[in-house]
Amino acid sequence: MRTASLLSAALLAAVGDIAVHACSHHGHHGNDHDRTPEELAELERKWGFEWAFSGIGSFAHLQYVKCLTTPQELFDIGIIGVPFDTATSYRPGARFGPRAIRQASSRQTSFRGFNPRANINPYQSWARIVDCGDVPVSPVDNAVALAQMTAAFAELGQRRASSTLLRSGKPKLITLGGDHSLALPALRALREVYGRPLRVLHFDAHLDTWHPDKYPTAWPSEQAHFNHGSMFWLAGNEGLLSNSSVSVHAGLRTRLSGDGWDDFDDDTAQGWVRFSADDIDDMGTSGIVKAILESFATEDEDGGDPIYLSVDIDVLDPAFAPGTGTPEPGGWTTRELIRILRGIESLNIVGADVVEVAPAYQGAGEETALAAAQVVYEILSSMVKKGVQELGRVSGGGYGNAHDEL
């Protein structure tokens, strides 16, 4: 017993010596807030770098800011996750999409982020880009979830951008889905932010302008109208989409209702132009780009009509993106989609989403989430390059205009 007591006393003395040494060491350097800029720079030099496989799971190792609870943190482009999938009609699981896309973006870093086609590193340019975290969406009440998403998009969209020289003065959001229904609350918020209806560029296998009655049931409800295939129909009826100019679908290969063309007739009546997945065989990627740009031609003096870009990952063939809720064979390759996205960089994209990534159905190689992360990178590059042009700081050289490589 005496030996044990002596050992305990010795241990306590040693701990005390360590504590005193630590306190004196801390006192020697002063309070952390008293560090000089040089000392802080040295800490950043020693410890600031992250390898692709290290760090927490923010998108592309961006600074993580809980934007909804920190209004003092200004940003130009925010990555916001919406882990919601209870408006799906087939396979659920897209609530885990934001997490999967972030993890798949790990190899994107500011250190090696230069995009040769755009002649820009979006992570080392004028824009402050942050990962805004997720909207805490209810998984048990779609009416509440819709209200939450709408309020969150409005809260973030109405804030002042970090770069005050930009024409709009508003930040842009890229949303990681989540199922496709989140486009409705995003469009509601953007309608208020920009004070006008928007146009939509929609990459998808499906129309998503289905009349809610096209989902037959003997138990109808108002809330059932809100789902991931009817949100653009709802947006059109709410006046969120421009009725004087067309919006565009691209990559379509959906089956239609009944035994005729009624779904396409409804879609046309709502002001949409359609490009099917098969069109790429005849037109090529350059032809698809040209047709999209011609559809969005505008005389708007403010840099073009505001456009919402919505990318359902099922626009890709299931061979390239099996991890999605409603897969349809016969889609585009990842390379074809990326090439088309690179060609439309001149459009005035004011908000975007990448949705329907359901990682439970993808392979171990993360092919679906990797494709989605690359899509986000391409959208970011175009947004940042468009901002450079707004600020009048276009630099020469590089690969030049995207049309040159198509």
- 314 carries a ligand binding annotation: yes
Planar angle of CA 269, 275, 280, nearest 5 degrees: 170
Confirm if 340 and 288 have CB atoms less than 8 A apart.
yes
Ramachandran region, residue 23 (left: φ > 0; alpha: ψ -120 to 50; beta: rest): alpha
- Say how far apart CA 341 and CA 346 lie, in whole Å: 10
- 61 carries a ligand binding annotation: no
Burial class (CB in 10 A: 0-12, 13-18, 19+), 114: middle
What is the total residue count of the chain? 406
Confirm if 229 and 267 have CB atoms less than 8 A apart.
no
- 25 carries a ligand binding annotation: no
- DSSP category for residue 35: -
Output the six-digit token pair for 105: 């973006």
With the CA atoms of 42, 46, 50 and 51 taken in that order, what torsion angle do they form, in degrees rounded to the nearest 10? 150
Confirm if 365 and 325 have CB atoms less than 8 A apart.
no
- Say how far apart CA 147 and CA 305 lie, in whole Å: 27
- 204 carries a ligand binding annotation: yes
| 312: nearest Cα among 260, 361, 368 | 368
Backbone φ, ψ for residue 252 (5° rounding): -65, 145
Output the six-digit token pair for 287: 């032809």
- Say how far apart CA 258 and CA 87 lie, in whole Å: 23
| 100: nearest Cα among 376, 396, 399, 398 | 376
Output the six-digit token pair for 223: 């809330």
Confirm if 172 and 381 have CB atoms less than 8 A apart.
no
Burial class (CB in 10 A: 0-12, 13-18, 19+), 8: exposed
- 180 carries a ligand binding annotation: yes
**Would you give the distance in Å from CA 351 to the centre of its chain?**
9
Annotated binding site for Mn(2+): 180, 204, 206, 208, 312, 314
Annotated binding site: 180, 204, 206, 208, 312, 314
